[in-house]
Structure 1
Amino acid sequence: MTWKSLQVDAVWVRRLTALADQPQNTSGLEAAFLRYGWARPGPEGRPEIEWGGGAASPHEITGGGGEGVGWRLELGDAPGEVPGAWFARLPCALFWPAFGDEPEDVEDAGQDDLDDDYGPAWIRRPEAERTDFHAEFRRLGELIRAELGEPDETGSAEMDERWERWDRKAGVVVLERTDDINSYSHYDVIAVRVGTAS
């Protein structure tokens, strides 16, 4: 069993949660991306952000360029284009094998065939247990609580899914532990999602 994670700290959480407190318009969000160093100015002065790529075509912050997957945001449609469709989602941690596929004996686990796709930004913990993955969910939840207080909603579902939701002035912040659709369910993922309240 393996676990890999990005070093998401209080600064990352503060910046992500601030997106849910500002007006949900393209120019304001793009200005925040520039300010945070998550995007570069394009030739016409507007940031180079590919809205609407989602998990299939995430917005690279660092990594890529032959280094493998690094820091990236999965982005929904630009604010205002489709009502309720704007979001930014940061995958923070991955656990292999996914829930339900866990082997009884680690020696029979084979290997994480997708590990080489992920660059040096991802810290590996090859001897991790699912309890370590759960502890990372709690750690990220505490970082968000330090910014926003207690969540407005918490919940869980089958397949080890869990979420915590904070309703904000202009949007929502959701911490989620779920199936990783980006890897076709090879991993379980912990992610922070900011977006329009639905």
Structure 2
Amino acid sequence: MPMLSFPLTPQWLDHVLELADTPWCCDAFDAVFVRHGWAIPAEDDEVAVGWLDHWPLGDPAAGAWHVVLGEYPGCADTDDRGVACDDPECHENSFLVLPLAYAAIDATDAYTGLPVSQQEFCGGEPPSQAAYLQDARSEDFTARYDDAARMLRARLGDPLPVAGPLPPDEPDQRISWERGKSLITLFLGANWYNYAQDDWIGIDIRPMG
């Protein structure tokens, strides 16, 4: 099966924890993304980071990896982009996911019946920051989850007794940690943002509900 994976290095884990520590508002995330070169400074009254989409962590032309962003962070009761509030209704669908792997476990070409090609799976050349395997095994995929779990346990300690929810679906596997006002969840499951045509592993960050 084809698999695309992103290496979770200690540096990238530092970035994950920095994002979890960031106040849940547009100005704060804009500052982090601009500082790391993941966005250019906003002009006039615009925001630097566009949520509700995949966002490249660098220059897409240079093969940058990406995050998946939910609704815009902030407070529904004000237009001030520097305000983060604790009302769960203000950030019910706001989140940030760093994908660690994608795999088309049972996907085949509709015409040939063969496993989907790199072109079909990646939409072109794989990102330069990622590793691509055309003939990966299920164990290769779950190993990415296990490796990330070990790294997170080493940095954050034991996970919560009950993992946090991850709407709109319930992943096959997930474990969660509280960090300040954020919930960090490592998950493995169907990729509903691609209509469940593949499976993915990722680290989800969202405000505590």
Could you say which TM-score interval applies, normalised by the shorter chain?
0.7 to 0.9
2:60 matches 1:64: yes
SS in 2 for 1:42: coil
Report matched runs for 1:25-104 at 5 Å: 25-44=25-44, 48-51=48-51, 53=52, 57-62=53-58, 64-65=60-61, 70-76=64-70, 77-81=72-76, 82-97=90-105, 101=106
- Return closer, same or farther for 1:11/1:141 CA change in 2, 3 Å cut-off: same
- Return closer, same or farther for 1:110/1:22 CA change in 2, 3 Å cut-off: closer
Contact 1:39 1:47 in 2 (8 A): no
- Return closer, same or farther for 1:181/1:127 CA change in 2, 3 Å cut-off: same
- Return closer, same or farther for 1:168/1:160 CA change in 2, 3 Å cut-off: closer
- Return closer, same or farther for 1:44/1:120 CA change in 2, 3 Å cut-off: same
Give the equivalent residue in structure 2 for 1:150. Answer: 158
Contact 1:172 1:196 in 2 (8 A): yes
Q: Which has the higher contact order (CA 8 A, sep 6+)?
A: 1
Separation in 2 of the partners of 1:64 and 1:79? 27
Segment drifting more, 33-42 vs 174-183 = 33-42
C-alpha deviation, 1:71, in angstroms: 1.2
2:114 matches 1:115: no
- Percent identity of the aligned residues? 21
C-alpha deviation, 1:5, in angstroms: 0.4
Separation in 1 of the partners of 2:206 and 2:176? 11
- Return closer, same or farther for 1:22/1:182 CA change in 2, 3 Å cut-off: closer
Give unmatched runs, 5+ long, in structure 2: 77-89, 164-168
Give unmatched runs, 5+ long, in structure 1: none
Query: What's the C-alpha RMSD, in Å, of the aligned pairs?
Result: 2.8
SS in 1 for 2:21: coil
C-alpha deviation, 1:63, in angstroms: 5.1
Separation in 2 of the partners of 1:59 and 1:162? 25
Give the equivalent residue in structure 2 for 1:124. Answer: 132
SS in 2 for 1:20: helix
Separation in 2 of the partners of 1:37 and 1:64? 12
Pairing partner for 2:175 from 157, 164, 168:
164
TM value normalised by structure 2: 0.75
SS in 2 for 1:58: strand
C-alpha deviation, 1:2, in angstroms: 2.1
Contact 1:87 1:193 in 2 (8 A): yes
Q: Name the amino acid aligned to 1:80.
A: C
